[in-house]
Amino acid sequence: MTTLTTRQPPVARPGKRLRASALLERPNFAVYGILIAFILGSAFPFYWSFLVASYDANVFTGDVPLIPGGNFLTNASRVLDAIPFWKALGNSVIVSGTVTLSVVLLSSLAGFAFAKLRFRGSKGLMLFVVATLAVPTQLGVVPLFMAMAEFGWSGTLGAVIAPNLVTAFGVFWMRQYIVDAVPDELIEAARMDGCSMLRTFWHVCLPAVRPAAAMLGVFTFMQSWNDFLWPLIVLNPEDPTIQVALEKLQSGYYVDYSLVLAGTTMATVPVLLVFIVLGRQIVAGIMQGAVKG
Amino acid sequence: MTADLTEVPSGRGVEPRPPVLREPPNGHPKLPWRDRLTRLDVKYTPYAFIAPFFILFALIGLFPLLYTAYVSLFDWELGADEHPFIGLENYATLLADDQFWNAMFNTISIFVLSSVPQMIIAVLLAALLNTALRARTAWRMGVLLPYVASLVALAIIFSNLFGKQYGLINTFLNSVGLSPVDWQGNWFASHVAIATMVNWRWTGYNALIVLAAMQAIPREVHEAALVDGAGAVRRFVSITLPLLRPTIIFVVITSTIGGLQIFTEPKLFDPAGGSGGGFSNQYQTVVLYLYQSGFQDFNLGYASAMAWILFLVVLVIAAGNFFLTRRIASTGENE
Amino acid sequence: MPYRSNRWVMALACTAALAATAACGSSDAGTTADGKVELTVATFNEFGYEDLLKEYEASHPNIKVTHRKTGKSDDHHQNMFTKIGAGSGLSDIEAVEEGWLAQVMAKSNQFNDLTKIGPADVKPDRWLKWKSDSATTKDGALIGYGTDIGPLAMCYNKDLFAAAGLPTEPEAVKAIFATWDSYFAAGDQFKAKTGDKAWFDSAAQVFNAMVNQNKVGYYDVDDKLVVDSNPDIKADWDKVTAAVAKGQSAKLVAFGNEWNTGFKTSAFATKTCPSWMLGVVEKQAGPENSGKWAVTDAFPEGGGNWGGSFLTVPKQSKHPKEAAELAAWLTAPEQQIKAFTSKGTFPSQVEALTAPALLEQTSAYFGGAKVGALFAEQAKKVPAAQHKGPASGQIQDKVFNSALQAVEQGTSVDDAWKQAVEGSQKAAK
């Protein structure tokens, strides 16, 4: 690698930087074609949900017309009447936002330590973290509820937030990413300059791992946003998260899908916003890499 | 990584600090306080960094694990007054339980059918997304959409696709003169259908993880290869892939763990939304069986034993995949 | 419990969580700040209690009621059993659906005996006898006050009946629905005329109704599993599987997506119809099939019940007396009629069955039939409550329904029977 990199690049004269994208392949029509097919497949359920939500209760879910009907706003206002939508949305934003911040920060911190710092027991602890992922979590609701009842937390948002403040998945992910994405030399240089470990983490590591952190943020946010069973069990139904509130739309021996899917569609909007905000961070990561060089 | 890749950057990154004062404070001539501080910093900071994670994890995450381990040693009926201790009997019963082995077989079959194509497509998709696309954010977030799709919608859409009598796929097969497939009843067909759902939901997710790692590959590596005249495919195979190794290992291990704990998709595939996994358990997975034992038969002890046996199986398979991946993605150098 | 001693753990956890968000609340003791007794009522689906609970609060100023409503029955019951397992967190009143009742009865020690703590004037004979009997343990403890019921009648598709040359008027079809033999015989006649249409939606739907009419079901009165020794079960099994072999079943899994489509496409001619099923038929068959479906006050071998719920008071409740009083009030005839008027839950109290609001109810979708009076009549035909064992619910819903589905999908009848017997033994273990 040394031999490769010491050569003088003729394209970029020293001192002048390439635009990051200039290095990437120019996509041709085939690439766009494949990606469009992927996106269509991925987005279909959303469009379909919107379609069903735009008709009245009599629309037959097996045979929805492909053009939206005019009933979406009616269904949306029915949703607002039926469940405490805004309150639930607010609760979900608090829960998912807190959980995401905590997971991203604590995972980066621990991931950095595991990837770049030497300490006794590092390997064993890392293996332990990964191993805990392998235990199925479905049975956890019983002991978790006992714990929350003991703490006196059941019924509070804290009971939904607390069990999700850290994830082994996050630590594993950040560790794997940091191993290669943050060069050792960069850390050493910072240390030589007299940076404390914390400053090194903050000023060297964090900027370099922004894409991975943003990705972890997206995953964590969505996971937390879609969580259903645990909030159902531990929260008071009058003060629910959005998924628990939406479930109430399915009461009755038959389900009014235009109502249910209107609620579902409305509840997806905040997630898409998070997508856009954090998605930019992921893209920004490339530029970061270019500057870092 | 070589030293010339890592010269201290200008601008962002490490901030320049004022020169360190070497004048010892009063009465402490031996070691400057700063050096001692630095020593302490080096020695204990790593623990401080991992402490928040482990403390929170010990408080909240560990208790459920220990609890299931404990309960698995008892004849623990949910809500019963007494829970007799039976030692390893749950484990012994489980290992002799045909339904468990059937569930294990289904789990591994669905896992193989889903994970292999998923990995390959995810890496290729990441490579496509790593090109100079217009509106990059939109494309990237687009492939993640399945991950947020509502399960209510998915249940209906997939049963409209794979329905035996009125499903779209069978209607199509009929119209081109092929015989329809019994997606529910035939064990292999049901595994294929469930694997399709899994792949649909998780390929984009894995692609994004791989993509994030691709972006971390230093620009100069690509630059140099470009200068050397390496083509796109060659650069992908001999530069990108090897440098992705830690991430590929991550993806392989997490999807092995996730794949063997598969639960949501086969539950959605049941026409009535139950956790039975088909009328002859033809697509009942281990976690579905575990859920059924715990929350329908209320046999929490048995379900807990199942959780721990599955844990062992997952560990073995994940470790196997780890060594396999390391070998395949290795370029001869050690991590 | 291992975690109980670790108070410091709690303090630490609180600190940690405080840093992140909410404060550490202390759990309530069941009373509000101004000294009112606070009662929580957990229901699912639609019980029609929204206005009733407000009414109760108005007439009982010392009581504050919180309604914990879940949408789906499965979610509600999983939540409830989790909290039974955890030993805390249950509401003062927990609704239990008929299908889960056997499991609740098996844990009757977790629930209060309402004959002891309930108001003295509330006697089991307020309810239809079979309804209160089914919530009474062997020792005579009443675990739940009955709310609604689902008396069975028969729904049928008039167009399909006409196409097969069968009578179509509700009075005229009663002979077809006199016994199971006449029912399956008419099915043969129907198949011979129509070919690709089916006689009923799913074998399991018919089989469940048949088994529940028997004196003895999957368990005998001593809670002994009798699946393979009870001749009635095998006889029912043989009749249903024979009908399946002759193509009478549409082979649709109840409440699945294809089943819904089956209503739309008129895939089958008859449907076992509890009162609440009328709404399902109307919704699934849709407006374009309005007037095609009819309902008659006949059911093979008399009658039966499918569905309906009970209100229980768990021992976890801190105010069992007040809770039982509220539950008794909610299930009193006047309130049952109000709930019926608002959400259509069919009343289970003898007195409520004669209320004009009930008897005058008609259904435009079912050709203007007087469905209120019709189902009130069917409710009286329900046979005496059959003894249910701890795993009756799973044996019906999981084991036998799966085995019958297997028969419908081509498994041999003998293999499926073996699957059913072994499955039952496993579930009952």
CA distance A7 to A177: 28
In sequence order, the 6+-apart residues with CB closer than 8 A to the CB of A258 are A52, A53, A54, A55, A56, A57, A59, A71, A75
Task: State how far residue A287 is from chain C, nearest Cα, in angstroms.
Answer: 32
Which chain C residues are within 8 Å of B166, Cβ to Cβ? 258, 261, 265
Please indicate if any CB of chain A lies within 8 Å of the CB of C4. yes
* Residue contact C27–A155, C-beta within 8 A: yes
Phi-psi category of residue C388: left, alpha or beta, with phi > 0 → left and psi -120 to 50 → alpha? beta
CA distance B327 to B112: 20
pLDDT at position C44, please? Answer: 94
Lowest mean pLDDT among A29-33, A160-164, C419-423: A29-33
CA distance B156 to A142: 30
For residue range A194-228, what is the model confidence (pLDDT) as tens digits? 888 888 898 888 888 888 899 899 999 999 999 99
pLDDT at position B286, please? Answer: 96
**Which one of B83, B166, B293 makes the best mutation probe of the C interface by having the most chain C beta carbons within 10 Å?**
B166
CA distance C66 to A123: 51
Task: State how far residue A238 is from chain B, nearest Cα, in angstroms.
Answer: 22
**What value does the mean pLDDT of chain B take?**
83
CA distance C110 to C96: 13
Which chain C residues are within 8 Å of B81, Cβ to Cβ? 109
CB contact burial C105-121 (16+ within 10 A = b; e otherwise) = bbbbebbbbbbebbeee
Q: Centre a 10 Å sphere on the Cβ of residue C358 and count the other Cβ atoms it contains.
A: 20
Which chain C residues are within 8 Å of A158, Cβ to Cβ? 17, 21-25
Please indicate if any CB of chain A lies within 8 Å of the CB of B5. yes
pLDDT at position C23, please? Answer: 36
For residue range A65-119, what is the model confidence (pLDDT) as tens digits? 888 888 999 999 999 999 999 999 999 999 999 999 999 999 999 999 999 998 9
Q: What is the pTM of this model?
A: 0.87
Q: Centre a 10 Å sphere on the Cβ of residue A88 and count the other Cβ atoms it contains.
A: 23
What values do phi and psi take at C249, rounded to 5? Answer: -90, 140
A13 band by pLDDT with thresholds 50, 70 and 90: very low
- Asked if pLDDT for residue B7 goes beyond 80, the answer is no
Nearest Cβ partner for A184 among B1, B61, B222: B1
Higher pLDDT, residue B217 or B61: B61
B329 band by pLDDT with thresholds 50, 70 and 90: low
Tell how far CA C380 is from the center of its chain: 17
pLDDT at position B31, please? Answer: 64
Task: State how far residue C173 is from chain A, nearest Cα, in angstroms.
Answer: 27
CA distance C328 to C312: 10
pLDDT at position A23, please? Answer: 54
- Among candidate residues B260, B315, B254, the one with its CA nearest the CA of residue B289: B260
Please indicate if any CB of chain A lies within 8 Å of the CB of C24. yes
Q: Can you read off the two tokens belonging to residue C125?
A: 């004979």
Which chain B residues are within 8 Å of C105, Cβ to Cβ? none
Task: State how far residue C183 is from chain B, nearest Cα, in angstroms.
Answer: 25
pLDDT at position A168, please? Answer: 94
CA distance C344 to C340: 4
CA dihedral sign of residues A264, A265, A266, A271: positive
pLDDT at position C27, please? Answer: 40
Which chain C residues are within 8 Å of A162, Cβ to Cβ? 13, 16-17, 20
Please indicate if any CB of chain B lies within 8 Å of the CB of A77. no
Phi-psi category of residue C347: left, alpha or beta, with phi > 0 → left and psi -120 to 50 → alpha? beta
Which chain A residues are within 8 Å of C86, Cβ to Cβ? 142-143, 145-146, 149
In sequence order, the 6+-apart residues with CB closer than 8 A to the CB of C1 are A146
Question: At which residue do the structure tokens 């081509």 appear?
Answer: C410
CA distance C66 to B329: 59
For residue range B175-187, what is the model confidence (pLDDT) as tens digits? 999 999 999 889 9
Percent residues over pLDDT 70 in chain B: 87
- Asked if pLDDT for residue A293 goes beyond 50, the answer is no
- Asked if pLDDT for residue A246 goes beyond 50, the answer is yes
- Asked if pLDDT for residue A284 goes beyond 70, the answer is no
- Cα distances from C193 to residues A281, B254, C188, in angstroms, run 68, 58, 9
Which chain C residues are within 8 Å of A145, Cβ to Cβ? 82-83, 86, 88-89
Residue of A nearest to B160 (CA): A62
Please indicate if any CB of chain B lies within 8 Å of the CB of A61. yes
For residue range B38-86, what is the model confidence (pLDDT) as tens digits? 778 878 889 999 999 999 998 888 889 999 999 999 999 888 888 999 9
Interface of C with B (CB under 8 A): 2-3, 9, 12-13, 16, 74, 78, 81-82, 84-85, 103, 107, 109-110, 251-259, 261, 265, 267, 391, 394, 397-398, 401-403, 405-406, 409-411, 419, 426-427
Any idea how long chain A is?
293
pLDDT at position C328, please? Answer: 96
Lowest mean pLDDT among A42-46, A76-80, A236-240, B33-37: B33-37
Percent residues over pLDDT 90 in chain B: 46
* Residue contact A289–B16, C-beta within 8 A: no
Task: State how far residue C331 is from chain B, nearest Cα, in angstroms.
Answer: 27
Which chain C residues are within 8 Å of B78, Cβ to Cβ? 81, 84-85
B20 band by pLDDT with thresholds 50, 70 and 90: very low
Q: Give one DSSP letter per residue of B167-194, joined into a string.
A: -HHHHHHHHTTPPPP-TTTSHHHHHHHH
Query: Using N-to-C axis directions, what is the helix angle for C7-20 and B33-56, rounded to 10°?
Result: 100
pLDDT at position B314, please? Answer: 94
B10 band by pLDDT with thresholds 50, 70 and 90: very low
Which chain C residues are within 8 Å of B155, Cβ to Cβ? 257
pLDDT at position B217, please? Answer: 77
Please indicate if any CB of chain C lies within 8 Å of the CB of A105. no
For residue range B287-321, what is the model confidence (pLDDT) as tens digits? 999 999 998 888 999 999 999 999 999 999 999 99
Q: Centre a 10 Å sphere on the Cβ of residue C281 and count the other Cβ atoms it contains.
A: 22
CB C161 within 8 A of CB C282: no
Provide the 8-state DSSP code for C249.
Answer: B
pLDDT at position B19, please? Answer: 40
* A:166-225 residues touching chain B, CB 8 A cutoff: 166, 168-169, 171-173, 176-177, 179-181, 183-186, 189-190, 193-201, 203-204, 207-208, 211-212, 215, 218-219, 222, 225
- The low-confidence residues of chain C, meaning pLDDT below 50, are 1-28
Name residue B156's amino acid.
Answer: I
ipTM: 0.85
Q: Can you read off the two tokens belonging to residue B2?
A: 């070589």
* Residue contact C66–A238, C-beta within 8 A: yes
pLDDT at position B29, please? Answer: 52
* Residue contact A166–B56, C-beta within 8 A: yes
Strands C268-274 and C346-347 come out as unpaired
CB C278 within 8 A of CB C155: yes
- Among candidate residues B307, B308, B290, the one with its CA nearest the CA of residue B299: B290
- Among candidate residues A255, A265, A251, A252, the one with its CA nearest the CA of residue A71: A265
Please indicate if any CB of chain C lies within 8 Å of the CB of A152. yes
Which chain C residues are within 8 Å of B56, Cβ to Cβ? 16
Task: State how far residue A149 is from chain B, nearest Cα, in angstroms.
Answer: 13
Provide the 8-state DSSP code for A249.
Answer: G
CA distance A107 to B50: 9
**What value does the mean pLDDT of chain A take?**
84
Q: Give one DSSP letter per residue of A157-203, joined into a string.
A: HHHHHGGGS--HHHHHHHHHHHHHHS-HHHHHHHHHTT--HHHHIII
**Which one of B21, B219, B268, B317 makes the best mutation probe of the A interface by having the most chain A beta carbons within 10 Å?**
B219
Task: State how far residue B247 is from chain C, nearest Cα, in angstroms.
Answer: 30
Residue of C nearest to B268 (CA): C256
Please indicate if any CB of chain A lies within 8 Å of the CB of B214. no
Nearest Cβ partner for B307 among A130, A136, A163: A136
Q: What is the largest CA-CA distance in chain B?
A: 96
pLDDT at position A180, please? Answer: 80
pLDDT at position C3, please? Answer: 35
CA distance C308 to C275: 10
CA distance B140 to A215: 11
pLDDT at position C19, please? Answer: 38
* Residue contact C46–A146, C-beta within 8 A: no
Residue of C nearest to A256 (CA): C283
